[in-house]
Structure 1
Amino acid sequence: MSTESDVPDLTRDDPLTDLTESGWAAFFVACAAVTLVTTLSIAAMLLYRSGQFFTEYSVSEFLTGTTFRAANEVFGIVPLVIATLSVTVVAGFIALPVGTLTAVYLSEYASTRSRAVLKPMLEILAGVPTIVYGIFALIYITPALQVVFPSLPTFNVLSASLMIGVMTIPMVSSISEDAMSAVPDDLRQAGYGLGATKFEVSTGIVVPASMSGIASSYILAVSRAIGETMILAVATGTLANMPEVREAAGVLPYIHPADVLMEPGMTITTAMIHSRGGELTGGSIAYDALFALGLTLFVVTLVLNVVSDVIAERYREEY
């Protein structure tokens, strides 16, 4: 019995080639290192400047305060968080179902010609500058909503939330469609062989098999909505309003959605813009507050990305 391997050695034993390959490997490692160093530098900078802010401002007042006025050095983040979550939820109600259904159509129902036209159009929609969406929300969406809600002010959270939902549809549909297209045709044919209809195959086989990619698109879309800035800066106004806290049955506190969506508001990102736009000097507490707000966004998006990775690993199917 021969001890030599039956697998032939196809690599070239050339010193010059080895040197070139080593150079390319080092270049790729350097590119990866730049990404890692940049992320760590941003995190370190946020932690350092936020630490300086919290030496002058109470952490509990920052996390539980209901008033945010940078000019008066009052930095309660609660109204900003409520507005941010409201925008994200409304945008999610639009982007997630519409994006998923669009992905199902492109993957399972659209002809090759239709898909060749619609997919690039979605990509173009994703490339529209966000300030264009903001102006569209202010000039067109808000007047349309005022027909239904006459008391709706010019600057409000609802119109901006609707436009963010439209803006994130291409992200959900594109990533979900790629995940659905990666499902092997053998699974579809097996479903058809068992007598399943097109709809049953699409919803009962393709969608569950691509759930990891779909869930990842959801998390990325939510992260994008949380971090959106220009649409909100144009359409929501500059007031950090704290909505009235009501009580259900005299026991459970809650906030009515209309008290947030039908009024001007300020999210964490827009608070950073408007705070920076004033007469702000480096080293002041208002300047350091920007980094505390940035750290809050950084932690939220980091958690969402970790959740996305966990979901993708949990439900990933290997074929």
Structure 2
Amino acid sequence: MPATWPVSWLVLILLGLSVIGYFLGRQRALASAGGDSRLLHSLPNFYGMNVLLSALIPSAVVLGAWVLIQPMVINSAVSSAIPAEVIAEGSSRDLVMSDVKRVAEGLEIARESGAVTLAEIRALDATQTDIRALLAEVGVALGSDVQPAILKAAQDYRAMSITGSNAMMIIVLLIAIVGFGRSYARTHHEYRARNIVERAVLALLIGAASLAILTTVGIVLSMLFETVNFFGLHDWKDFFFGTVWAPNFRGDSELAIFPLLWGTLYISVVALFVAVPIGLFAAIYLSEYASKAVRGFAKPLLEILAGIPTIVYGLFALVTFGPFLLRMFGDGGVLGVNWMTDARSVATAGIVMGIMLIPFVSSLSDDIINAVPQSLRDGSYGLGATKSETIRQVVLPAALPGIVGAILLAASRAIGETMIVVLGAGAIARLSTNPLDALTTITTRIVSQLTGDGDFASPETLVAFALGLTLFVLTLGLNVLALYIVRKYREQYE
């Protein structure tokens, strides 16, 4: 018998109970009306949906909240009980907790394999049993011997997890059964089931919208709190107004964002110089000049670019396009100049990123141009304008708000891109205007600072959150600018 039942089983039970409630509620409503659905206040399906939602929604909300909150509560309780002397120099309580969880998971695997029983797990003593060897027998590798305090914390962690999961199972099932019974007992031909179901659906829609907003707020707050911690350890003036990026995990780091911001904007501008003209011209051709057969073939083919993973673009920049530029502009290259010393450069990352952004600009612009009313074109033709004059003076101005939105969407995509700049732009943080020089970006440094065994209490690691928050503010500013432009020009063509 398992120590606790999987959450997936509980979900299946809830779904089964809800489906049964749907059919029973529908049947009870019809029975109360003598089988004549015309005597019902609502359609029979509404009575079934009322029982289904009453059994499923409250229990699902409690289940979701429990699954999210329980690990945090248990982690906090076990972590606070770990003696300070167990935490070695250079380590942290979070790293010790990862060892605790590893041991707890290993004990559960050992129990499932039959190596130990529940009673033996509770009675284990690290001073008398080689826990590392015991777990190695069931395929769980540990980096060092398990200290008594770590074993005790793992036993507590596992016991609390089992208790919490069992309590969750009982409480969630009780809520589902109570909701089922309450709504089933109320089911009657005069019961206003449609009103109840519609209000429940409205609440679900509001909850979904609120969840999206709260998720955004949670992301911003998580970055904001860590950013505040960073500025408590590092001078904000050096971060915003310094010109040197030189992180050093041994201390004395210079963490200025300006070289990274310069690289990010420089590469994004190069990408837009590639993507905007090609994407916009492609959209004009597909919407105004191409036949239906050509459009039906060319547009899906163009949009295939949007489905290529960015890591593939990054590999293309690193292996193919970067070396091509180096052969053209490097020492001993085709042009006989020495302007480029490395395949990684602003041009390498920017041009490849621009190729990736072409579908974003072309597809959105094409849809926007097609949305311009045909009456505007017909009026222009009636006044004697040619096709090209109509496109320049009527169609494009009318579609301008949407086109600007597409361009700024592509700009936000370029600023937040990671893999292409990691592989194609280089890792040198400096202020250079030469597009053939290697530069680095904010996203690249975020990956670098959070990769490895860095201490999350050090400014060299916390700076990643400050960089992320700055990137968020930058893209938010682009969105606000796009909204302003769209509203300004929309007033002129409505």
TM-score for both structures, normalised by structure 1: 0.88
Matches within 5 A, 1:266-305: 266-305=440-479
Q: In the alignment, which of 312, 320, 323 is matched to residue 140 of structure 1?
A: 320
- Which residue pairs with 1:197 in the alignment? 386
Aligned counterpart, 2:303:
123
Deviation at 1:66, TM superposition (A): 1.7
Residues 86-165 of structure 1: pairs in structure 2 closer than 5 A: 86-150=266-330, 151=338, 152=340, 153-165=342-354
Please name the residue that 2:206 is paired with.
Answer: 29
Structure 2 counterpart SS, 1:278? coil
Bigger mean CA offset, 295-304 vs 135-144: 135-144
TM-superposed deviation, 1:96: 1.2
Q: Check if 1:51 corresponds to 2:238.
A: no
**1-structure distance, mates of 2:327, 2:395:** 41
Counterpart among 234, 242, 255 of residue 65 in structure 1: 242
Instruction: Name the structure 2 match of 1:3.
Output: none
Q: After alignment, is 278-287 or 123-132 more displaced?
A: 278-287
Q: Which amino acid aligns with 2:395?
A: V
SS of the equivalent of 2:450 reads: helix
Aligned residue identity for 2:400: M
Deviations 1:158-216 (Å, cap 9, x if unpaired)? Answer: 10110111111111111111111111111111111111111111111110001110010
Deviation at 1:77, TM superposition (A): 1.1
Please tell me the residue identity of whatever aligns with 1:110.
A
Cα deviation digits, residues 241-290 of structure 1 (max 9, x gap): 333xxxxxxxxxxxxx21xx222211000011112223312222122111
Q: In the alignment, residue 466 of structure 2 is paired with which amino acid?
A: A
Task: Tell me how large the CA RMSD over aligned residues is.
Answer: 1.5
Aligned length: 292
- After TM superposition, the structure 1 = structure 2 runs for residues 148-187 of structure 1, keeping only pairs within 5 Å, are 148-150=328-330, 151=338, 152=340, 153-187=342-376
Equivalent AA in structure 2 for residue 51 of structure 1: V
1:308 aligned residue (473, 476, 482): 482
Q: How far apart are the structure 1 equivalents of 2:203 and 2:304?
A: 36
Q: Which amino acid aligns with 1:123?
A: E
- 1:74 shift after superposition: 2.0
Q: Match of 2:34?
A: none
Cα separation, 1, equivalents of 2:294 and 2:198: 43
Q: Choose 1 or 2 for highest CA Rg.
A: 2
| 8 Å Cα contact 1:133-1:231 kept in structure 2 | yes
Q: Secondary structure at the match of 1:195?
A: coil
Structure 1 ranges of 4+ moved more than 3 A = none
The one-letter amino acid of 1:126's match is A
TM-score by length of 2: 0.57
Q: Which runs of 5+ in 1 are unaligned?
A: 1-12, 244-256
Deviates more, 1:124-133 or 1:147-156: 147-156
Higher RCO, Cα 8 Å, sep 6+: 1
1:127-152 per-residue CA deviation (whole Å, 9 max, x = no partner) reads 11111001111111112212321142
Moved more, 295-304 or 76-85: 76-85
| Separation in structure 1 between the aligned mates of residue 373 and residue 272 of structure 2, nearest angstrom | 29
Alignment of 1:210-225 (within 5 A): 210-225=399-414
My pick for the range that moved more, 289-298 or 61-70, is 61-70
Identity among equivalent pairs (%): 41
Find the aligned partners of 1:122 and 1:273 in 2 and give their Cα distance: 31
Question: SS of 1:89's equivalent?
Answer: helix
2:359 alignment partner, SS class: helix
Structure 2 CA distance, aligned partners of 1:147 and 1:198? 43
Per-residue deviation at 1:85?
Answer: 1.2
Distance in 1 (CA, whole Å) between partners of 2:482 and 2:430 is: 32
SS at match of 1:210: helix
Letter in 2 for 1:109: Y
Q: Kindly tell me: are residues 278 and 69 of structure 1, through their superposed partners in 2, closer, same or farther at Cα, counting changes over 3 Å?
A: farther
